[in-house]
Structures are given as C-alpha cells and as structure tokens.
Homo-oligomer: A and B are copies of this chain.
Amino acid sequence: MQLNPSTILAHATQILAEYGLADLTMRRLARSLDVAPGALYWHFPSKQELLGAIANQLLECVQPPQTTPGARLQSRDEWTRIVNYCVAIYSAMTSLRDGAEITLAALASGTTDRDLRADVRETAGSLGEIAFHYVLGAAMDVQAQQAVASALGDADAAQASADAHHVRRNVEVILAPLLPG
C-alpha cells in the first residue's frame, strides 16, 4: 500500500470511529498501516499535526458565513448564514467520534487551517463567541455521553446522532439580538 497523507488519515479515522481518541497513538496507527512509526512521522511530524489534519478534514465542508466582518447585519439572510455556520461547526465536530475534542485540541495548538473562534467572533462579535462556546459545549457533552454508552457496549446509544435541530434553535436564541429589523 502506498503511504500518503490520505491513506494515513483514513486509517486514523477508522481507529477513532472504532476505539476513540484515547486509543489513537502514532504507534498503533503505524501498526494498522503496517509501516514503521518513522514512516508515519515523515508525513505527520507529531500527533498534533495529525489531529490538525483530521480537524481540517472534519471542517472541510464548513463554509465561513461570507458576511462583512464587523458590519451590522443587513438582512435576515446574512443572519441565517451565521446561524448555519455555527450549526455546521456542531455537525462537523459530532460527525466523528471525539471530533469535538480533536477540533478543540487542533484549534488550541494552531494546527487547523482556519481559526473558527476568530471567524465567529469577527462576524458576530461577543454573541458569536458565546455561540461558538455553546456549540463546543453541546458537542463535548453529547460525545461524552456517546463515549460512556460505547464503553458500556450500548452500540445504539453510542451511534445516536446528535440533535442538530435542537442546537440550531439554541444558536438562534443566542444570536437573536443580531437579527436586523
């Protein structure tokens, strides 16, 4: 098998989905790829870099809201784009087991392509920051419950999809003061 970043990421995602972040070590990933750990480090010099690449993959489909930073929102449409952005962050983080923790670690170590926190703050100010921390907390909470369900062998509860509708409603509540008109 050709060892390249996308093969490595596919195997890492597989380990995550099956066993969770605690079991994703460079050594184990190398074994799963049947290569020496050194070969892995050539592509990802550290676990931080690997988690950054996984987070980037998770966030690939999350489109920034395309509003004018700092400007007062002009339309309900602009406002909805910001709501959608926050919900998309939640959906991305909960699309992979322990995805919220991985995204957070990657943001903290600066290995993601984008700084979500800054994006949200720029477009929606301090309410954007509240919305970001809300979706982060909600995602961490649902994934902590999934981890417990998984440890107890309750596969259904572990797979239960996070309720994005509920999160959307709450993001709308948080950002309501920004709604123009």
Contacts and interface: CB of A to CB of B under 8 A. Distances in A.
Given A136-B137, A137-B133, A138-B133, A144 B108 contact: yes
A132 interface: yes
Interface in A121-176: 126-127, 129-130, 132-138, 140-141, 144-145, 147-148, 170, 173-174
Given A141-B104, A148-B108, A133 B130 contact: no
Interface residues of A, number: 26
A57 interface: no
Interface string A50-86: 0000000000000000000000000000000000000
A109 interface: yes
A4 B133 CA distance: 38
Contacts of A138: 133, 137
Contacts of A104: 140-141, 144
A140 B108 CA distance: 10
Interface of A: 104-105, 107-109, 117, 126-127, 129-130, 132-138, 140-141, 144-145, 147-148, 170, 173-174
30 contacts: A104-B140, A105-B144, A105-B147, A105-B148, A107-B144, A108-B141, A108-B144, A108-B147, A108-B148, A117-B141, A126-B170, A126-B173, A130-B134, A130-B170, A130-B174, A132-B137, A133-B133, A133-B137, A133-B138, A133-B141, A133-B170, A134-B134, A134-B137, A136-B136, A136-B141, A137-B137, A137-B138, A137-B140, A140-B140, A174-B174
